[in-house]
Amino acid sequence: MKRYTIPRVGTKLLLPLILLFALYVQFHGDYGPGGGFQAGVIFGAGFILYALIYGLDNARRLMPPWVLRIGVSLGVLIYAGVGLLGPLLGGQYLDYAVLDARDPAHGQHLGILWVELGVGITVSSVMVTIFYAFAGRGR
């Protein structure tokens, strides 16, 4: 890809926008189409595009496998951990209404925001991990 200027420059221009759009889909998921899964896929696709254009080694420097390993697990832990706050604060498991004692609806918002964040982290990490695993075969 070294000799192809247009994809290289185009990627540099697009990459921040892709990642920003992923964050928009992530945090606007409450009110519009989107959510953690879609955002995670877009976020992961950004890194995959980078790896396709600039090579696997550069991508691994940018997003090392040990970070992915933590990301894969961290998302699940956030999801299940937020659920555990329910019983700790006197509700049922996955009951986010208790997160805000004065305004249960706000508590639900808060809970789902965290849960979606967990989903987003795990999905994007898994996407990039799978890509690394396939791209790294036979090396």
Partner 1 sequence: MIAHLPALQVVIPLISAPLCALLPAGRPAWLAAMAASWLAFLIAALLLYQVLAHGPISYLMGGWPIPWGIEYRVDALNAYMLLIVAAIGAAVASFGRTIVEQRLSLPLNKHPWFYTAYLLCLTGLLGITVTGDAFNVFVFLEISALSSYVLISVGRDRRALVAAYQYLIMGTVGATFILIGIGLLYVMTGTLNMGDLAARLPAVSGTRTVRAAFAFLTVGTAIKLALFPLHLWLPNAYAYAPSPVTAFLAATATKVAIYVMLRFFFTVFGVKFSFETMQLDKILLPLSLVGIASASLVAIFQTNVKRMLAYSSVAQIGYMMLGVSLVSVTGLTASISHLFNHALMKGTLFMALGCVSYRVGATRLERMAGVGRSMPWTMGAFVIGGLSLIGVPLTAGFVSKWYLIVGALEKGWWPVAALVLATSLLAVIYIGRVVEVAYFKPAPEGQRVEEAPLALLVPTWALALANLYFGLETSLNVGVARLAAQGLLGATP
DSSP string, 4-52: -HHHHHHHHHHHHHHHHHHHHHHHTTTTSS--HHHHHHHHHHHHHHHHH
Q: Does 74 bind partner 1 (CB under 8 A)?
A: yes
Task: Choose the binding region for partner 1 from 10-18, 26-34, 38-46, 82-90 (rule: CB under 8 A).
Answer: 82-90
Write the binding mask 11 to 50 for partner 1: x where contact by CB under 8 A, - elsewhere: ----------------------------------------
Q: Does 55 bind partner 1 (CB under 8 A)?
A: no
- Toward partner 1, which CB reaches closer, 10 or 81? 81
Give exposure, 28-66, as e/b (b: 16+ Cβ within 10 Å).
ebeeeebbbbbbbbbbbbbbbbbbebbeeeebbeebeee
- Residue 121: CB minimum distance to partner 1, A: 11
Half-sphere exposure of 110 (CA within 13 A, CB side): 15
Task: Choose the binding region for partner 1 from 35-43, 47-55, 69-77, 123-131 (rule: CB under 8 A).
Answer: 69-77
CA 98 from centre of chain: 26
Q: Residue from 80, 101, 105, 133 that binds partner 1 (CB under 8 A)? A: 80
Q: Does 72 bind partner 1 (CB under 8 A)?
A: yes
- Residue 96: CB minimum distance to partner 1, A: 7
